[in-house]
Structure 1
Amino acid sequence: MPSITQSTTPCHIPADTAEEVLLGVDTHKDIHVAAVITTLGATLDGRSFPTTAEGYRQIVAWVRSFGVLRRAGVECTGSYGAALTRHMRAEGIEVTEVNQPDKAARRRHGKTDAVDAEAAARAVLSGRATAAAKASDGPVEMLRLFKLAKGSAIKSRTQAINQLKSVLVCADAELRESLAGLSNPKLFQQCAILAELEISGPAGAARHTLKLLARRIQNLTDEINDLTERISEAVTASTPGLLEVHGVGPDSAAALLIAAGDNPERLDNESSFASGECARPPVVRGRCPGRQVQAGR
């Protein structure tokens, strides 16, 4: 994890000049490294801040001590930088998604978090970064979370169903025959109410396992149904009438809206929609995996 460093002699601009400054942020799990530059490209200062609500307030207040903050370039706005992006958007700051600096620039300037933060600010200043960050403060963000939970529940239920049927294949003949020919819902219902017997030997263990797995399947089904209902409500809140379109169900509608985000106006052409900027990748191995995708690599 990068260390938190503080510059010793920040170059403050008098408040009465009201000069515009730009912020660049290299995001991490526990800290964000920030850099401030002028509209002429002069570097003013660089510092690190904790990834907390107070840390976000400190970043904005610190940058505003140099001048007027209207624009910021932030890496990984869909993962490590998501909370900071929400905070700055609430402060009226235009946040631009910035890709990882190209390899040539890294060879010239070296690889440090401070260099990446400054490069993020310069990418906005030069116009190299133009994609507005995806908002995550509305019904579409709710959809993303509900869909994430539903996908996990479906995967777990499928695993439990496969396990239950595997146990049933090896169960004693009497139990297996009593459950033969049942549809899945009836099978799970009957397994969930199997009589409690003393768990002795494989036969007793099989009955107990079938009962636990069936109840797990029922609980997961309830979760999935609840999430499907919540997804439908969120889709209706975001885009009334979308679910009335022929062939569009809650899951497909959610996928479309999640791709566009809570601020679809930022997608002004086909290429912007198709680019990696639309993606909200998961966080793995301590870095933002979306950087290479977004850079088109």
Structure 2
Amino acid sequence: MANEHRKVIVGIDTHADTHHVAVITETGVHVADKEFLAVGSGYQKIIAFITGFGQVLAAGVEGTGSYGAELSRVLTKEGIEVLEVMRPNRQGRRLKGKSDPLDAYQAAESALAGRGTATPKARDGAVEALRVLRAERSTAMRARVAVMNQVQSFLVSAPEALRAKYRGLTSAAMMAALEKTRPAGDISEPLNATATALKRLAVRYRALHQELALIDAELDAILTIHAPMLRDLHGVGTDVASQLLVTVGDNPERVGTEAQFAALVGVAPIPASSGKTSRHRLSRGGDRQANKAVHHVALVRMMSDTRTKTYVVRRRGEGKSTKEIMRCLKRYIAREIYNQLLHPQPAPDAGALRALRKTKNITLQAAADNLHVWPSALSRLERGHTRDDLFHQRYEHWLNEH
């Protein structure tokens, strides 16, 4: 059979410096394998190598999010379908052994069989920028916490003359006061050494604080341009929205259904029935950072969302525990987020209600009294600081009747 009519599957075992490439036919016959450098010229040689054996149906790549990230982008630009292949299990490696050629052939066979494969994240758009900034933010947050812990540790064992100056101050006030100090004297004296170290730590703390503020502003700017409506959902702020987008990736179509998204963020219900007991439990799978984000949304809504509060009261009346209620809430929240990601819907224009109320000469206090809510809660809704679609409809109906 001529090469131009042959159809092949490619498997690639990726490493930091080299990539091993294997080619098999669509019937699983091993054709060839070769090692290439993991550099720009090496990627072009890989393209020439694999296309020389015929039409490439798919490429199974290990580590599309790390060593194979750039290669995946190059293959995709060449019109080759890239599949992320899981690492071979240990049992298989014990039976068949391990080497770069074997791993590459196993990757190709997995891609051919559709076993242990997934559509990789594109990593070529705004979401990749969010991922990088969030990774930087995470390390800066940990560093700031470490600085604060170090300062408190020093003050615990510092001489009383130094400790007394900062006793009773809040963390922010203490760091500001430490930064303004001018320690002087013999550095070999414990008091002077401690004062000097504390000032430097306070300066580092302010630098980290400013860095975090800058990162948050950059995250906010990206979300405002690329996903402005995601934060219209109640309880979804910049931190939650950016994490959810990073979890889904630049190509949200890779998550084909709502159920797949629920599994991805770790809120898919897991059967936990036994005997006469029929129940489900919280999932421990999926992206744990995304699960943390959904958990945060659930907590915010349980505290401030009228619809969620009503739901919680009803389910408690049915005998559900807090964990079971939160499991159900997370599933509903995941459904809402998935729909907003794929089919964004803007929040209702609460500013129009504020204008309507004023044209009818109704005070905020009077409206709040009639609707049985706090004036501050109604004010936040009118200014767009909170979102409650059901209450928005109720408020709009009440204004139209008056």
Letter in 1 for 2:124: D
- Which one of the candidate residues 101, 121, 133 is aligned to 1:146? 133
Are residue 253 (structure 1) and residue 241 (structure 2) matched? yes
Q: In structure 1, how many angstroms separate the alpha carbons of the residues matched to 2:45 and 2:225?
A: 34
Q: In structure 1, how many angstroms separate the alpha carbons of the residues matched to 2:138 and 2:49?
A: 41
Pairing 1:51-62 to 2, within 5 Å after superposition = 51-62=38-49
Shift of 1:98: 0.9
Shift of 1:234: 2.5
Are residue 128 (structure 1) and residue 96 (structure 2) matched? no
Q: 1:10-31: per-residue Cα shift (whole Å, max 9, x none)?
A: xxx855x343222100112221
Q: In structure 1, how many angstroms separate the alpha carbons of the residues matched to 2:88 and 2:80?
A: 22
Q: What TM-score does the superposition give when structure 1 sets the normalisation length?
A: 0.82
1:195 maps to which residue?
182
Pairing 1:1-297 to 2, within 5 Å after superposition = 14=2, 17-103=4-90, 105-107=92-94, 109-198=96-185, 199-269=187-257, 270-271=259-260, 274=263
Instruction: Decide whether aligned partners of structure 1 residues 133 and 45 sit closer, same or farther in structure 2, where only a CA change above 3 A counts.
Output: same
Q: Which has the larger radius of gyration?
A: 2
Q: What TM-score does the superposition give when structure 2 sets the normalisation length?
A: 0.61
Letter in 1 for 2:6: E
- Higher mean alpha-carbon deviation, 21-30 vs 167-176, is at 167-176
**Structure 2: which 5+ runs fail to align?**
267-284, 290-402
Instruction: Decide whether aligned partners of structure 1 residues 271 and 226 sit closer, same or farther in structure 2, where only a CA change above 3 A counts.
Output: same
Which secondary structure state, in structure 2, belongs to the residue aligned with residue 96 of structure 1? strand
Would the aligned equivalents of 1:71 and 1:95 in 2 still touch at CA under 8 Å?
yes
Q: In structure 2, how many angstroms separate the alpha carbons of the residues matched to 1:254 and 1:160?
A: 26
Shift of 1:210: 0.8
Shift of 1:208: 0.3
Which secondary structure state, in structure 2, belongs to the residue aligned with residue 77 of structure 1? coil
Would the aligned equivalents of 2:14 and 2:20 in 1 still touch at CA under 8 Å?
yes
Letter in 1 for 2:55: V
Shift of 1:273: 6.0
Would the aligned equivalents of 1:70 and 1:92 in 2 still touch at CA under 8 Å?
no
Shift of 1:60: 1.0
Shift of 1:196: 3.5
Instruction: Decide whether aligned partners of structure 1 residues 183 and 133 sit closer, same or farther in structure 2, where only a CA change above 3 A counts.
Output: same
Which secondary structure state, in structure 1, belongs to the residue aligned with residue 118 of structure 2? coil
How many percent identity over aligned positions?
A: 39
Q: 1:167-215: per-residue Cα shift (whole Å, max 9, x none)?
A: 2233333333233333222211111121141224011111101100100
Shift of 1:280: 11
Q: In structure 1, how many angstroms separate the alpha carbons of the residues matched to 2:262 and 2:58?
A: 22
Instruction: Decide whether aligned partners of structure 1 residues 71 and 194 sit closer, same or farther in structure 2, where only a CA change above 3 A counts.
Output: same
Aligned-residue RMSD, C-alpha: 2.5
How many residues align structurally?
268
Q: In structure 1, how many angstroms separate the alpha carbons of the residues matched to 2:161 and 2:91?
A: 71
Runs of 4+ aligned structure 1 residues displaced above 6 Å come to none
Would the aligned equivalents of 1:79 and 1:280 in 2 still touch at CA under 8 Å?
no
Q: 1:74-93: per-residue Cα shift (whole Å, max 9, x none)?
A: 11212221221122112221
Would the aligned equivalents of 1:69 and 1:93 in 2 still touch at CA under 8 Å?
yes
Which secondary structure state, in structure 2, belongs to the residue aligned with residue 262 of structure 1? coil
